[in-house]
Structure 1
Amino acid sequence: MEMLQIIPASKNGTRMVPPPPINKPHVCLSTTLIMSSMVLMDAYLVEQNQGSRKLGICIMVSVGDICFLVVLRYVAVWVGAEVRTAKRGYAMILWFLYVFVLEIKVYFIYQNYKADRKSLDLMARKALTLLLSICIPALYILLVATEHMEYVRTFKKKEDLRNRLFWVIVDMLDVLDIQANLWEPQKKGLPIWAEGLMFFYCYILLLVLPCVSLCEISMQGISIVPHRMMLYPMLSMLTINIATIFIRGSNMVFFRDIRVSGIFMGKNVLAIALKVCMFAQYRKHLRHAPAGSGAAAADPQHNTMAQTQPAIHLLKPQNQTPCPEGLAQENT
């Protein structure tokens, strides 16, 4: 016979719910992906140095990886504990830590390539771009864990989340494409201020925008309403779709950069048109919504409850005073 666990009550009288069971395969997979990408970045840093400096870099990156693994041991467990819930707080913390450390290593790799322009190891530089374009979006997919969202019951809402997940991944690849132009071989280098501004702009976008998307999923909770998740589309349109068109256009016009991706420029133009139509449709929806509360008008379940309440009040006798027991039942 199993022992029943006594859950202590909090100060306001409600019982504190323990965290859900840990999803061990999810924890192992995310940890393996993070540490393998870190080790590969360390291999780039070690191979770019020669002699006694190579040994010193190897010791430094090994100590850093051990410290990061100690922190990851606790954060990844809590990320696995909140996979089946609506919360994504620890997922945002893990994403921030991972991108923060990874991009620092990428910055030093890029500086080493910049200092040694004569060594045009094209395959190694292309492999670095390919590695980042796989590891970073793959970790975001694991942190969102759409397939494990048991609280999303309807197929339509889960498909809407997958579509939003797809657009976030495409935006990441767009940012990584701009950042990769810095370490891939180029005939004419950009000015130092332009390179630094471009790198750290992409750095901030990779840090912040996926966290905004995870925060929108976390704030929705059990009743996910797709048209309330408008913060990320608005920010991505301004900071990615519009800004990267100007960045690529400036590289083509002023710096004669022939590696500018015309495919991503076309993607940004189409994304701007689609998001403008989406915003216009959303404003039209709010304009034609019933005059009450915007949040209540957006939730169909809330609307049905609000429409049934007047009929219930009409059925009640108007000259009777409800007894205290009836008030207690209504409050509960």
Structure 2
Amino acid sequence: MVPPPPSNKPHVCLSTILIMGSMALMDAYLVEQNQGPRKIGVCIMVTVGDICFLIVLRYVAVWVGAEVRTAKRGYAMILWFLYIFVLEIKVYFIYQNYKADRKSLDTIARKALTLLLSVSVPVLYIILVGIDHMEYVRAFKKKEEIRNRLFWVVVDLLDILDIQANLWEPQKKGLPLWTEGLMFFYCYILLLILPCVSLSEISMQGINIVPHKMMLYPILSLVTINIITLLIRGGNLIFYKDMRVSGILMGKNLIAIVLKTCSFVQYKSHMQNVPSALGVELQKNTTPHSQPMPAPPQVLIQDLTSLPEVTVCDHT
């Protein structure tokens, strides 16, 4: 099946360059972590994998570029899922190599890996959303509200990546094996699902975007990110004395919990007021029709068929 020509070629080129550039840097990490004959085998393996990925990306990215100026986000979700699925597999092997080689404490390389993920993943999400190309959203207020919601998605992505980065950055005391595996795959699932939920909310709204009805992602992020990641950081700090826990992101989670709770309360009160306001409006509209119609003017027709009586006068 031949894909249609993209309506936004710079969008396709930018997303393709970002995806393949981040993949190439991940491949460089994997190759450098192996020595001797194994290094050549790993190089051949990642090259073949990148060629296959590029073939699939050629079709998917063009389809995304064809729908970027519409309310559809189906291929954008497919591209996001494909990218994160492959990227996190490479991150897992890099993390396992760092874990096996505890003598190598190359802090700069590990920090660079964290920086690479914290830039490429949120930027790709912003490109896929294409918020600046939403011509079907005419109201400036609605567009700004959507931008604010997407900002929270980007912050949540950085929050998830910070949890993952604690696994490969230098640490004085390692976490238990089951804790590390649970943390990695929990973040992996969140990176796969939550951005797709946000993209699907925009897609389902279509041209009649009503931002206050896009409540699925805020509810999921409140539970899975703001509450659970706060518990993860608190548990690592209390039980495992992990000093790499970010106090700033813990504060962000607390603020987000308060703000989103207030938003939910306001939304609930808004939905309760809508039926009453609608009933009052209907009552106003039906009141003039319920009044009795004035009686039509009656026309009295005088009976002129009978002649008046004539009095006869006697003439003398």
When the two structures are superposed, what TM-score results if normalisation uses the length of structure 2? Answer: 0.87
- Segments of structure 2 that go 5 or more residues without pairing to the other structure are 294-316
Pick closer, same or farther for the CA change 1:89–1:312 going to 2, 3 Å: farther
Aligned position for 2:218: 233
Higher Rg: 2
1:178 equivalent to 2:163? Answer yes
Aligned-partner Cα distance in 1 for 2:255–2:249 = 10
1:274 aligned onto 2:274: no
Amino acid of the residue matched to residue 180 of structure 2? E
Shift of 1:76: 0.3
TM-score w.r.t. length of structure 1:
0.83
* Contact 2:4–2:62 (CA under 8 A) maintained in structure 1: no
Q: Which runs of 5+ in 1 are unaligned?
A: 1-17, 298-302, 318-332
Specify which of 206, 219, 239 is matched with residue 191 of structure 2. 206
Change (3 A) 1:33 1:311: farther
List per-residue Cα deviations over 1:264-308 (Å, max 9, x = no partner). Answer: 00000000000000000001001111259xxxx7xxxxx99x899
Residue 262 in 1 paired to residue 247 in 2?
yes
Aligned residues: percent identity? 76
Question: What residue is the counterpart of 1:147 in the other structure?
Answer: 132
- The match for 1:328 is none
Alignment of 1:213-228 (within 5 A): 213-228=198-213
- The Cα of 1:19 is off from its aligned counterpart by 7.0
Cα contact 1:20–1:82 (8 A) shared by 2: no
Amino acid at match of 1:231: L
**1-structure distance, mates of 2:288, 2:70:** 35
Greater relative contact order structure (CA < 8 Å, 6+ sep): 2
Alignment counterpart, residue 44 of structure 1, candidates 29, 43, 47: 29
| Aligned CA distance change for structure 1 residues 155 and 182 (closer, same or farther; 3 Å) | same
Change over 3 Å in CA distance of 1:28–1:312 after alignment to 2:
farther
Paired with 1:196 and 1:93, the residues of 2 have a C-alpha distance of 26
Q: Match of 1:169, SS?
A: helix
Task: Give SS of 1:289's match.
Answer: helix
The answer (yes or no) to whether the contact 1:252–1:258 under 8 Å persists in 2 is: yes
